[in-house]
Chain A
Amino acid sequence: MESNGFSSPRNDSFPAGLRVLVVDDDPTWLKILEKMLKKCSYEVTTCGLARDALNLLRERKGGYDIVISDVYMPDMDGFKLLEQVGLEMDLPVIMMSVDGETSRVMKGVQHGACDYLLKPIRMKELRNIWQHVFRKKIHEVRDIENLEGVQNFQMTRNGSDQYEDGHVLCGEDLTSIKKRKDIESKHDEKDTGDYTSTKKARVVWSVDLHQKFVKAVNQIGFDTTSLSCFDGAMTSSVCLAEVGPKKILDMMNVPWLTRENVASHLQKYRLYLSRLQKENDSKNPAGGIRQSDSPLRDSAGSFGSRNSINLLPSDVSNGSYRFSGSSLVVHNEDLRSHDSDQKRLVSTPLAEPKRTLTVDVPNPCIPRSSQMEFGHPLAPPQSELDFGAFDSTFPTKYPWCGIPEIQPKKKHDPLHLNGGFSHPPLPGQKQHTRVHCPQPAPAISCALSLTERETGFPVKVKPSYNEYRSNANHVSSKDSAVDSIPFQTKTNMANHQPVEPISRSTSSTDNQGMNMNCITELESSRKNINLGMPLFTTLEEDLQVCWIPADCYTNPGLQNIEISELFDRGLIKDETVHLNDELRFDYEFYDPTEYSLIDQSMFIA
């Protein structure tokens, strides 16, 4: 078994000492492979079962560099294991099989395998597996460096608190940022298009970067043109058409950013604004626009908060949800326009029944609380908002907050939110909490319904904004919300989307009545959340935040909505299909019939 710790010599004599975990049900082959890997000077750990492998990986976070797994295993389909590893641990996974049929290989790649080897494997093939590890590290480092560069630039340009905060946040723990970036929208990827692919270099839309973006957009004339456009969800997009990504890119003056990155970000931003505008119908549009800044800042703040959240040593304690940090962070940004924000928060619940399901991800911050110990990196002047109240009360009142553990999304970074407040967090799941804490943390209603799925899919906790957002007496309402609404967490497996943890608040055990209740409140709370999270517009857009397999929820109605949204979205389409697959076969269950059929077709001389 693995004997060395993290300080393996591999850094010095890379790739020697590469820590490999091999999973295969065939003991003979395991023996051979182990020997071969040892000959390559790798450190090998072998496992006969997928379950054991997952346990090992969870127990020793960071204890392995790469996983090699067979496709066919008795207790779990190799592809499922592949996904799990990608989601939870973000490690490169190599599939191997006697079956080299193209469709199988393709499936492997789709599920995120970084390579597919045919048995019997030659030594020379094994000698090269280190490149997958190396490549991944490079991408991560590059992203972090980019982020740093951007932040530094921002710092010099701006001495605003925001930037400082963002800088503080980002500087603290780049790894969490890096993890967060995994959640970032795939739209940000230059070569996006394959949402099922894993581990791409992603653009991290940090607080600072987003600020630059917003500035650029505003300068280009966004505010004037969009004002008139904010009368519908779609019109905003149209109006912003004049604000081209190219222009924005030029204005932002960020060398490493591409037009595509900006374009996808802009798209999200548009949706966010349109949503915002709908809520602000009664408000002064200019104010609204200006507000857009703050919400953007919120998002920036959210980045910050997100960062902070991630950064904060996660206490992935299951129960203690220290929410305050996130709310603090969020507030920082918001404070400027608190009044308006606040009003917005309280305003119009979005009348999108379908949308209820998607509680903004940002809000899931709360669920993510497990990681979130926000050590209050930022001292948000919460005074203006109830957030203060929220903040202070949150940790105490919402024990459930700490429950969900958010797993950083690997390829897809699903969030693993541990079960509801009454459930202990899933072991080993707490990785980094990529808490995309929705900025308006307070907006996040406590009503998180968490139901852990045993499937091990990352669970998205959707806080139901039930009363929370509503008003000044947030605290009290929260309490009731918390008490009354069971939490149901959905695991989000979706890989493709920037995984913003989607929390669904649906009452698990409760009935429809509750759900409806939640729904309406979710809507409004969602709106609130939206304020702060323009970036998460993807979630908003589709409400599909829940990439949850259909059967995840006990509430069929909600599920249906979700599913339809998912399909509409198209993004998760593959995922959904895949999920359905899992549902059908109960991801752990290896269907021999299917296997045998495959065998027949594949095995040729």
Chain B
Amino acid sequence: MERNQLRRQVALTRQSLFDQGFLDDQFIQLEDLQDDANPNFVEEVVTLYYRDSARLINNIEKALSVYNFLSFPSLLDFLVQQHFYIGAKKVKAECTLFREYCRAGNGEGCTRTFQQIKKEYATLKGKLEAYFQVLFHLMLPLSSLISQ
């Protein structure tokens, strides 16, 4: 029963991520890849995503601070790619917008959008972490059962 509840919770959390537009189909693709051989595949990928994205966002922030717009496109590309991989919808959208502003040379727009990116990224990260937490708990009883 507890497990059922957990399962329900996981499903709801997951669904909300989609409903609220945080994640898209790509995430489902990732989930499809997960199997017995790689039970934590999705989580591993998302962890990698956190790592790379954080780094990229930092770089962009630095570049922004010195108004080094030239490096943006490549940085952004990488960043967007990351979001692509895991299907981070909202962050992706913000990144795209950011790119547009960069191209247009709209400094203010760039800065503003970048803040949005950071915000969305933080939000997504929080949500994903919560999701994985619940997932982890769902797995727990099973493992404990097995151990017994």
B44 interface contact, C-beta 8 A: yes
A1 interface contact, C-beta 8 A: no
Most buried by B among A28, A32, A36, A596: A28
Interface contact B85-A29, CB-CB below 8 Å = yes
Interface contact A28-B85, CB-CB below 8 Å = yes
In the complex, the number of residue pairs spanning A and B with C-beta atoms less than 8 Å apart equals 75
Q: How far is the CA of A576 from the CA of B72 in the complex (A)?
A: 32
Among the stretches B5-13, B27-35, B126-134, the one at the interface with A is B27-35
B96 interface contact, C-beta 8 A: yes
B144 interface contact, C-beta 8 A: no
Interface contact B73-A599, CB-CB below 8 Å = yes
Interface contact A26-B73, CB-CB below 8 Å = no
A120 interface contact, C-beta 8 A: yes
A119 interface contact, C-beta 8 A: yes
B18 interface contact, C-beta 8 A: no
Contacts of A39 in B (CB 8 A): 32-33, 35
Q: How far is the CA of A595 from the CA of B53 in the complex (A)?
A: 20
Q: How far is the CA of A141 from the CA of B49 in the complex (A)?
A: 44
Q: How far is the CA of A573 from the CA of B90 in the complex (A)?
A: 46
Tell me which of B30, B70, B73, B77 contacts A32 (CB under 8 A): B30
Interface contact A119-B81, CB-CB below 8 Å = yes
A31-B45, A39-B33, A599-B73 given as contacts; is B80 within 8 A of A604 (CB)? no
Give min CB distance, B41 to chain A, whole Å: 6
Tell me which of B30, B71, B73 contacts A603 (CB under 8 A): B73
Q: How far is the CA of A26 from the CA of B70 in the complex (A)?
A: 21
Interface contact A596-B74, CB-CB below 8 Å = yes
Could you tell me how many residues of chain B have their Cβ less than 8 Å away from some Cβ of chain A?
34
> Which chain B residues in 85-106 approach chain A with CB under 8 Å?
85, 87, 93, 96, 99-100, 102-103
Chain A interface main SS type: helix
B136 interface contact, C-beta 8 A: no
Q: How far is the CA of A592 from the CA of B75 in the complex (A)?
A: 11
A28-B48, A31-B48, A35-B33 given as contacts; is B96 within 8 A of A72 (CB)? no
Tell me which of B29, B44, B73, B82 contacts A596 (CB under 8 A): B73
Contacts of A35 in B (CB 8 A): 33, 38, 41
Interface contact B80-A603, CB-CB below 8 Å = yes
B111 interface contact, C-beta 8 A: no
Chain B interface main SS type: helix
Q: How far is the CA of A592 from the CA of B52 in the complex (A)?
A: 20
Interface contact B52-A27, CB-CB below 8 Å = yes
A600 interface contact, C-beta 8 A: yes
Interface contact A26-B96, CB-CB below 8 Å = no
Interface contact A122-B49, CB-CB below 8 Å = no
Contacts of A597 in B (CB 8 A): 73
Q: How far is the CA of A35 from the CA of B34 in the complex (A)?
A: 8
Tell me which of A27, A120, A123, A605 contacts B48 (CB under 8 A): A27
Contacts of A31 in B (CB 8 A): 44-45, 48
Q: How far is the CA of A593 from the CA of B37 in the complex (A)?
A: 42
B76 interface contact, C-beta 8 A: yes
Q: How far is the CA of A592 from the CA of B70 in the complex (A)?
A: 10
Give min CB distance, A601 to chain B, whole Å: 8
Give min CB distance, B145 to chain A, whole Å: 27
Q: How far is the CA of A596 from the CA of B73 in the complex (A)?
A: 5
Against A, the Cβ 8 Å flags (1 = close, 0 = not) of B113-129 are 00000000000000000
B26 interface contact, C-beta 8 A: yes
Interface contact B81-A29, CB-CB below 8 Å = yes
Interface contact B52-A120, CB-CB below 8 Å = no
Contacts of B103 in A (CB 8 A): 600
Against B, the Cβ 8 Å flags (1 = close, 0 = not) of A84-112 are 00000000000000110000000000000
Q: How far is the CA of A599 from the CA of B96 in the complex (A)?
A: 12
Interface contact B81-A98, CB-CB below 8 Å = yes
The residue in chain B whose Cβ has the minimal distance to the Cβ of A605 is B96
A28-B49, A28-B52, A31-B45 given as contacts; is B96 within 8 A of A98 (CB)? no
A120-B85, A603-B96 given as contacts; is B78 within 8 A of A26 (CB)? yes
Most buried by A among B29, B52, B73, B82: B73
Interface contact B48-A595, CB-CB below 8 Å = no
Give min CB distance, B64 to chain A, whole Å: 15
Q: How far is the CA of A597 from the CA of B52 in the complex (A)?
A: 23
The residue in chain B whose Cβ has the minimal distance to the Cβ of A35 is B33
Against B, the Cβ 8 Å flags (1 = close, 0 = not) of A17-31 are 000000000111101
Q: How far is the CA of A31 from the CA of B48 in the complex (A)?
A: 9
Interface contact B33-A98, CB-CB below 8 Å = no
Contacts of B37 in A (CB 8 A): 38
Interface contact B33-A596, CB-CB below 8 Å = no
Interface contact A123-B32, CB-CB below 8 Å = yes
Q: How far is the CA of A604 from the CA of B84 in the complex (A)?
A: 13
The residue in chain B whose Cβ has the minimal distance to the Cβ of A122 is B29
> Which chain A residues in 548-605 approach chain B with CB under 8 Å?
592-593, 595-597, 599-600, 603-605
Q: How far is the CA of A248 from the CA of B100 in the complex (A)?
A: 62
Interface contact A32-B96, CB-CB below 8 Å = no
Interface contact B82-A120, CB-CB below 8 Å = no
A27-B52, A35-B33 given as contacts; is B84 within 8 A of A599 (CB)? no
Give min CB distance, A61 to chain B, whole Å: 30
Interface contact B96-A120, CB-CB below 8 Å = no
Contacts of B49 in A (CB 8 A): 28
Q: How far is the CA of A369 from the CA of B76 in the complex (A)?
A: 50
Contacts of B87 in A (CB 8 A): 120
Interface contact B29-A98, CB-CB below 8 Å = no
Tell me which of B29, B41, B76 contacts A120 (CB under 8 A): B29
Against B, the Cβ 8 Å flags (1 = close, 0 = not) of A60-75 are 0000000000001000
Against A, the Cβ 8 Å flags (1 = close, 0 = not) of B27-67 are 00110110101100100110011001000000000000000
Q: How far is the CA of A426 from the CA of B109 in the complex (A)?
A: 52
Contacts of A98 in B (CB 8 A): 77, 80-81, 84
Interface contact A123-B29, CB-CB below 8 Å = yes
12 pairs, CB–CB < 8 Å, chain A vs chain B: A28-B49, A28-B82, A28-B85, A32-B33, A595-B73, A596-B70, A596-B73, A603-B76, A603-B77, A603-B80, A603-B96, A605-B93
- Beyond A593-B70, A600-B99, 4 additional contacts (C-beta under 8 Å) are A28-B48, A28-B85, A39-B32, A120-B26
Closest 5 CB pairs of A and B: A599-B73, A605-B96, A596-B73, A28-B48, A35-B33
Q: Chain A residues in contact with chain B, CB under 8 A?
A: 26-29, 31-32, 35-36, 38-39, 72, 98-99, 119-120, 122-123, 592-593, 595-597, 599-600, 603-605
